[in-house]
Amino acid sequence: MLQRIDSLSMVKLFPKLTEMAMVVVILIATMAFQAAVNPPGGVWQDDSPSHKAGRAVMATNSPELYISFIIATNTAFISSMITIVLISTGAPHVDFVFLSITTYSMWVSIASIGVSYGISLLMTNPMETKSVFEIAMIVVGVFVGIYILLLIYFPIRTIVLGGLKQAETQIQSLLDGLAGQPDCPSKRAIVSLCVTIQRWIGVLTTGY
């Protein structure tokens, strides 16, 4: 089963996506680090019986929200670090297990930073009617919608690409058949048309 999955386009295309994935997770790690050292609402500037200087204001005023915020932020940061380490070692390029871990970690970091963003909005904006659960449901709903779109997109893309590849094979067979015929204006026109179609099929299937 792993050998069959290993032959899928996702594994073949992963090296091309490495640079983009690295940029994304580095950005998420930076956002998570910045959110941890500078939480929503800032930090206390002085000491008092109820708080100490340098501690998060959010931790004093909304401890439950702050706990959720820290969990989401730490999850985003740690999963981003895991993704960065795995991509840096090159392990996902040669092993399907590491590829799965890397992909999963990247999605976890994206989802976690989304939850962290929602809690920040809840803390810094007049949204008293919104709860952490409601914001989490919004984030989950968005990701479920994207996942459904992907489930629809990839099968359709596979069917379309298969049809284009079949058309390219038929065009190549036609060109091979025309190669043995005498040269004439109609033959040159057909060959030119077939080459143009092949070129566009190559652009649609490979992007080049």
Q: What's the pLDDT tens digit per position in 131-149? A: 666 666 776 787 788 778 8
- Residue 162, C-beta contacts closer than 8 angstroms, at least 6 positions apart: none
What is the mean predicted confidence (pLDDT) over 97-106?
81
Structure tokens at 32: 């998570």
Phi, psi of 174 (to 5 degrees): -65, -40
**Predicted local distance difference test score (pLDDT) of residue 5:** 44
Q: Is the pLDDT of residue 127 over 90?
A: no
Mean pLDDT of 155-177: 76
pLDDT at 6: 46
pLDDT of amino acid 186: 72
Specify the pTM. Answer: 0.61
**pLDDT computed for residue 130 by the predictor:** 58
CB atoms within 10 A of CB 157: 11
Per-residue model confidence (pLDDT) at position 29: 92
Both tokens of 49, joined, read: 């019986």
pLDDT reading at 77 higher than 80: yes
